[in-house]
Amino acid sequence: MLVHVRQKQTGIAYLFWLLLGIFGGHQFYLGKTGRGLLYLFTGGIVGVGVVIDLFTLPSQVRQVNTQLAIGIR
Q: Please tell me the pTM assigned to this model.
A: 0.90
What is the distance between the terminal CA atoms of the chain, rounded to a whole angstrom? Answer: 16
Residue 13's alpha-carbon distances to 1, 2, 22, 51, in angstroms, are: 29, 26, 13, 14
pLDDT digits (tens, 9 = 90+) for 12-64: 999 999 999 999 999 999 999 999 999 999 999 999 999 999 999 999 999 99
SS (H, E, C) the chain: CCCCCCCCCHHHHHHHHHHHHHHCHHHHHCCCHHHHHHHHHHHHHHCHHHHHHHHHHHHHHHHHHHHHHHCCC
The arithmetic mean of pLDDT across residues 6-12, rounded, is 96
